[in-house]
A and B are shown apart, each in its own frame.
Chain A
Amino acid sequence: MTFFTLGVLAGVGRVPDAEAMSEFVVTPEDVIAASGRLSAIRVGVQELCGYVRGCAGAAAGTPAEAAVEDLLRSFAAVLPHFGLAGEHLGGAVAGAGAGYARTDSEVAAASDAVGGE
């Protein structure tokens, strides 16, 4: 199955506005795969957080201890946001696919309804 949706049309019975037109021509498998790759970033980032936690105490007793611990705290605070960013993108792709699929279904249903009248 392939989504092929012209998202914005200038009006009923009129030629579509090419500038505003939106197209999404991909298979659902592509969308799922792309979304999955992006969402997997969060798991990958969690693993990276584990690496960062493993660095704790590495500079214990040295004059650089405070700087190292500051850096590690900063990473620990910030890295989860990178995981969420990946998930955010994955959600965007999945949502786009779902949205366009719904559009196709609705248009098809409307077309059937018109044809049945």
Chain B
Amino acid sequence: MLDVGFDVAPGSPSELAAAATRLGAVADGLDEHAGTVRGTAQSLCPSWRGSAAAAYEQLSEVIRGHFQGAARTSRTASAALRRYSRELDRFQQDGRTAFDQAEHWLEEIEVQTGRLRAAEQAVSAAELDLAGAESSAAAPLGAWHAADVGARVTAAQAALDKARAEAQVASRALEAAHHELACWQARGRSAWEEAQRAADRATGTLAANRITAPLLPGMPPPQSGSGTTVIGGAPPHHSGGANLPSSPHSGVGSGTTVIGGAPSHAGSGSGSGSGSGERKPGRPAHPGVGSGETVIGG
């Protein structure tokens, strides 16, 4: 393969497009889960009232917000990759066209260079022939011989003229080929640079687009997340219920929101009251979810 002086931008537009589609599906899925969180809260909360219900609703909203934020991030990333995929495809096509043309004109340069050399050799040979014929013409000769020498000079001159014309044609063709090569090289480099700029734009969008997770108790914070939200105070378990927030506070580290935290009541009471106005001694005063207690704050 000839060295045309530039490269076609690397990368696979189809792979990028497939990734964009997958991230779009991730965005749709996250939105759907956000809808599930909201829908479930809406279906429960009208018939569930009290501090635990309020805490649950608040927790649902926080988690739903995270799902929606992550869906936005995913959708933005998907759009950035799809745009980059399209741009890269276009600039690769431009680059390949330029590459093929540049290869063609490099070959043409080789051909025309060969023609020019041959023509120049023909000129040299014709000049020698002409010089020989002219020197023969200068010698004292008979009439019949003078006519022959005259014919030789004329032929040599004609051959010289023809060789010079061919050299001129080859020279012009070579010059045109160089010009074409330079043009296609410029287009090829431009396509590469445009692809680079498209990659830079995608990089900028992706780098500015961060996903944050609701950080649950018992789990380490995500390594690459720039912000997390701490929710609740204990790992989830179906049989015993979960600790729900009632008062969010923020400001634990940059970009961190903490709702709930360590339980303020770790009891296992099952709530109290019967609807008849009675309260059993020793029961917690504020039943919550599962354990009968609402656990607030850290």
A13 touches B232 (CB 8 A): no
State whether A4 and B275 are in contact (beta carbons under 8 Å apart), knowing that A64-B199, A78-B222 are contacts in the complex. yes
A96 touches B202 (CB 8 A): no
State whether A78 and B50 are in contact (beta carbons under 8 Å apart), knowing that A37-B36, A84-B219, A92-B241 are contacts in the complex. no
B203 touches A103 (CB 8 A): no
Q: Which residues of A contact B36 (CB under 8 A)?
A: 37-38, 40-41, 86
Question: Considering only CB atoms and an 8 Å cut-off, how many residues of chain A contact the other chain?
Answer: 80
B32 touches A44 (CB 8 A): yes
Nearest CB of chain B from residue A5's CB, rounded to whole Å: 7
B287 touches A8 (CB 8 A): yes
B244 in contact (CB, < 8 A): yes
Nearest CB of chain B from residue A54's CB, rounded to whole Å: 5
Which residue, of B18, B32, B70, B270, has the highest number of chain A Cβ atoms within 10 A? B270
A74 touches B271 (CB 8 A): no
B23 touches A7 (CB 8 A): no
Q: Could you list which residues of chain A lie within 8 angstroms of chain B, going by C-beta atoms?
A: 4-16, 20-26, 30, 34-35, 37-41, 44-45, 47-48, 51-52, 54-55, 57-64, 66-68, 70-71, 73-75, 77-79, 81-82, 84-96, 98-100, 102-103, 106-108, 110-111
- By beta carbon, the residue of chain A nearest B27 is A48
B249 in contact (CB, < 8 A): no
Q: Which residues of A contact B279 (CB under 8 A)?
A: 9-12
A85 touches B242 (CB 8 A): no
Which residue, of A4, A13, A63, A96, has the highest number of chain B Cβ atoms within 10 A? A96
Q: Which residues of A contact B81 (CB under 8 A)?
A: 58-59, 68
B222 touches A77 (CB 8 A): yes
A103 touches B33 (CB 8 A): no
B224 touches A100 (CB 8 A): no
- By beta carbon, the residue of chain A nearest B211 is A78
Nearest CB of chain B from residue A109's CB, rounded to whole Å: 10
State whether A9 and B63 are in contact (beta carbons under 8 Å apart), knowing that A34-B43, A64-B203, A91-B242 are contacts in the complex. no
